[in-house]
Every structure is written in C-alpha cells, then in structure tokens.
Amino acid sequence: MSTSPRIKGVMAAGLTAFNDDLSVDIDLTLDHTRWLLDSGCDGVLLFGTTGEANSLSVAERLAFLDKLGASDLPKDKLMIGTGCCALPDTVALTKASLDIGIEHVLMLPPFYYKNPSDEGLFTHFSRTFEAIGSDAMKVYLYHFPQMSAVPFSHELIARMLKEFPNTVCGVKDSSGDFENMKAMAEKFPGFDVFAGTERYLLDVLKAGGVGTITATGNVTVGGCAKVFSAWKAGSADAEALQDQLTRERLTLQNYPAAAALKELLAKNSGKASWRNVRAPFMPLPADKAASLVSELDAVNFALPAKAA
C-alpha cells in the first residue's frame, strides 16, 4: 500500500516534443517537464490529450517510461496517462508506470465503441485493476466526453468508489461543465476533482475540488500557481488573479491547443523543433501564430521565463 500523498494543486498536461523526423524527443520532453515543475507546477501529467498520447504507440510510450524512470524527475509529482481502448495496453502501461515509481495514472474509458453501458465500463475497469494487481496505484478518471464520447456517469463513479475506495482517487473533468465538477466535489467527499481548464481553477477549489490539470498550463503555469497560492493563503488577490488567468485561457482556447502551445514554446526557447506535431495535428500557420501573439499581448499575457 502506498503512503505517498496524492498530487493536488496545479498540474500541466505536458506536451510531447518531437524531432524533425517526428520520433519522440524524450530528452526535450523531460527538460520541459522539469521546467514546468520548477516554474510552479505541483505536478505534471504526461501522455494526455495535448501530449498527443493517442498518436503514440504503446512501444513508444514504454520506451519513454524507461528513460523517465532513469531520470532525476520526482516521480511523486508525475501522473501518466495509461488509458487505452485495449485492456492489455492499459495494463502494460500502468505496470510500467508503477515499476518506475509513478503511482498516479490517468485512465480514459475504452472509447472506440460508443454508448457502452455503465455495467460494461465497470467490468472493464474492475478487470483492469485486477490484472494490474497493485495496491499502490492511484487512478484518476479522464472525463472528456467531447473527445472520447464516453462519459463517466455519477452512478458509475459512486459504484467504483464503493468497490475500489483505495484505488479510484479522482477525476480530470475536461468537459468544460463547471456544474458537473461542482456536483462531483459535493457528492463524493475525498474524491479529488481537477478542473480540466484553469478557467475554473478558483471556482473548483471553492467547491471542494483540488486543482486543475490543464493543457494551457504549459504556458500559464505562473498565473495558475499564483491563483492557487493566493487561494491557500486566503488572499483577496485570488479573484483578480483568476480574472487575468481566465482572460489568458479564453484567448488560448481559440487556437488548436498542441500547435499553439508548441508555437509559443518554440518562440520562447528558440527551439524550432517545438513546432513539430504528429498528423492529424498541423503546426500553426505563420499568420495564426502572429495573431496568437497579438491577442495574448492584448490581454497582458507575459510569456513565462525561457522554457526548455
């Protein structure tokens, strides 16, 4: 049984860097992860949607985990996206994560077959947990119905918490539905609700949630950290800081996430390879890149200190 604390607060859904041949640039990805932690993140999710996880093979992800395990990154501050359509793939990735000392894992539902029953989803997860056979893992459910088309109902969450109270620890709610986030925080005490957008960071904290796991945190990490720190301190500044953070998020969400964030990192770091994405994603065109910077300037967004 694990005794390490759960991650709470500000988490970036980290980007995956690619070389010019579109192979994974593991070293740059690890450097970026380190920079995010140094810049104010309480944790970093790897292999989420913005990390282009579903454009990576299981073999690529396993190779990455091998090198991550040998790195000096603090494993108790990392979360790995391990949920796949095929149960054996989820098991293999989760076991590999646990083997290198990372206990926090984010699991998508099996998302190819649409309209599965709650019974079918419960059976999938219960068999997955049984096959992994670990008391140490901390599982977070990835609720992103716009992408997966397979939501987690409150009834299913309640059943999973009853059957697996020491395994199912929380949720990343990327639905954009604050009322759902609030309802889960109220219904399920001790179930760690993360907003999938920093737009609702302060609201989720007030509702009893624990923080945010956000794609745009790759560049808004400083502002996210300021909001979380102000909230913890009970500072009246929290509202104004959240207002600024929300303006930044609303500007960024007008652009394709991975391409826009990588464009900003390329400009900030001087590494053109940050612009590399795997199809069907495409790099941000030059005119869109210019308008992104202009719109961010208009809301007084300051690029973070030079990134990795």
Residue 200 known to be catalytic = no
Catalytic residue among 112, 113, 123, 306: 112
Structure-token match 């996880």, residue found: 53
- Residue 7 DSSP label: P
Is 172 labeled as catalytic in the residue annotation?
yes
Determine which helix (DSSP H) or strand (DSSP E) holds 50, and give its type and residue range. Answer: none
DSSP H helical ranges for the chain: 26-38, 58-69, 87-99, 118-132, 145-148, 154-163, 178-187, 201-207, 217-233, 237-252, 257-269, 286-298
Of the CA atoms within 13 Å of residue 278, those in its CB half-sphere come to 19
Give the CA distances from residue 213 to residues 50, 205, 261, 272, 288, in Å, rounded to whole numbers and listed in that order. Answer: 11, 13, 15, 26, 26
Distance CA 191, CA 165 (A): 9
Q: Determine which one of 138, 172, 182, 271 is catalytic.
A: 172
142 counts as catalytic: yes
Q: Are 138 and 6 in contact (CB under 8 A)?
A: yes
* d(C-alpha 193, C-alpha 7), whole Å: 11
Find the catalytic residue in 16, 29, 49, 128. Answer: 49
Contacts for 223 with CB less than 8 Å, ≥ 6 apart = 198, 241, 244, 245, 248
Catalytic residue among 90, 138, 142, 182: 142
Q: 212: which strand partners?
A: 10, 195
3-class SS of residue 35: helix
Task: List b or e across 268-303, with b for residues whose CB sees 16 or more CB atoms inside 10 angstroms.
Answer: bbebeebbbbeeebebbeeebbeebeebbeeeebee
Amino acid at 112: Y
User: Which residues are catalytic, by number?
Assistant: 49, 112, 142, 172
